[in-house]
Amino acid sequence: MKIIVGLGNPTAQYHGTRHNVGFSVISELSEQYNIDMSGRKHKAVFGKGIISGERVILAMPQTYMNLSGESVRELLDYYKVSPEDMIVVYDDINLAVGRLRIRKKGSAGGHNGMKNIIKHLGTEQFPRVRVGVGEKPRQMDLADYVLSRFDKTELEAIRQGCTDACHAISLILKSGIDEAMNQFN
């Protein structure tokens, strides 16, 4: 079993923001693979299903971004899944809008949601799929930027990025992370 966690913030006010790209990818996966996301437990909205022949749990922590590790820790403990069998999907301001970067492990890179997950798990040894949301304008506060929505010129690129992230996750499950890294990085 694999757990796929998309990072974001709960409530409608954050829907469609740059910081909620992880939620967008999980929503798209649930639609593509007909996975019911009505579960409410472990401080998350979640669903169980099959992707590329692998049993999966899709999860969207409801703790707000900076406390994502609380939910992730509960999910891994309850389902007895190791961090290496989890994939975290989240936004990255260091990548162009819609661009992907897949890694087997690594630091938080300044991302507060990832910092909290690493803190709660005590390891950086887990796969992640980062989806680019574009670089912050110099004059703009980082928090304001990641909580902003995509403009009209960016919408197609971010939609394609979310679709590519779904394909990458499917490929990770089917053929392994190295194959996905070769194809999408």
Q: What does the pLDDT read at residue 31?
A: 98
Q: What does the pLDDT read at residue 111?
A: 95
3-class SS at 77?
helix
- Mean of per-residue pLDDT scores for the chain: 97
Which residue out of 19, 111, 120, 167 is catalytically annotated?
19
Q: What does the pLDDT read at residue 138?
A: 92
Give the tens place of pLDDT for each residue, 151-184.
Answer: 999 999 999 999 999 999 999 999 999 999 999 9
Residues 64 and 85: their CA atoms lie apart, in Å, by 23
- The strands making up 54-61's β-sheet, listed across from edge to edge, are 39-41, 44-51, 54-61, 2-6, 86-92, 128-132, 100-103
Q: What does the pLDDT read at residue 180?
A: 97
Q: What does the pLDDT read at residue 81?
A: 97
3-class SS at 62?
coil
Q: Decide if 120 is catalytic.
A: no
Q: What does the pLDDT read at residue 170?
A: 98
Mean pLDDT calculated for residue range 11-22: 96
Residues 180 and 184: their CA atoms lie apart, in Å, by 6
Q: What is the 3-state secondary structure (H, E, C) of 118-168?
A: HHHHCCCCCCEEEEECCCCCCCCCHHHHHCCECCHHHHHHHHHHHHHHHHH
Query: Checking DSSP bridges between strand 54-61 and strand 86-92, what pairing results, if any?
Result: unpaired
Confidence band of 146 (pLDDT split at 50, 70, 90):
very high
Mean pLDDT calculated for residue range 71-99: 98
Confidence band of 59 (pLDDT split at 50, 70, 90):
very high
Q: Are 6 and 25 in contact (CB under 8 A)?
A: yes
Q: Could you tell me the domains of the chain? A: 2-184 (3.40.50.1470)
